[in-house]
Amino acid sequence: MDDIEALLNTIRTFYAKLEQLRAMEGPEFVLAGRTETYKETLEDASGQLETTVDELGAELGYQHKRPDEGVQNYGE
């Protein structure tokens, strides 16, 4: 259950950061540091989600290989 909660928290954080980005309007980008803040927020949001998705993909790949390895090790 901890993995599910961690995933949900990552998704919630991702969406919260997207809301921050959506709230920034065109004129704000000319203010000092706004473009950098936008890029940092975007990188932070996408980096966390990408890491989580990569971890889930690796787990899924491992689970796909398990039956073949089981047959190879314990089968005919």
Asked whether the predicted pLDDT for residue 29 surpasses 80, the reply is: no
Distances (CA, A) of 43 to 14, 61, 66: 10, 26, 34
Tell me the average pLDDT of the chain. Answer: 85
pLDDT of res. 76: 60
> What's the pLDDT tens digit per position in 39-76?
888 888 888 889 888 998 999 999 998 888 877 878 76
pTM, 2 dp: 0.65
pLDDT of res. 1: 53
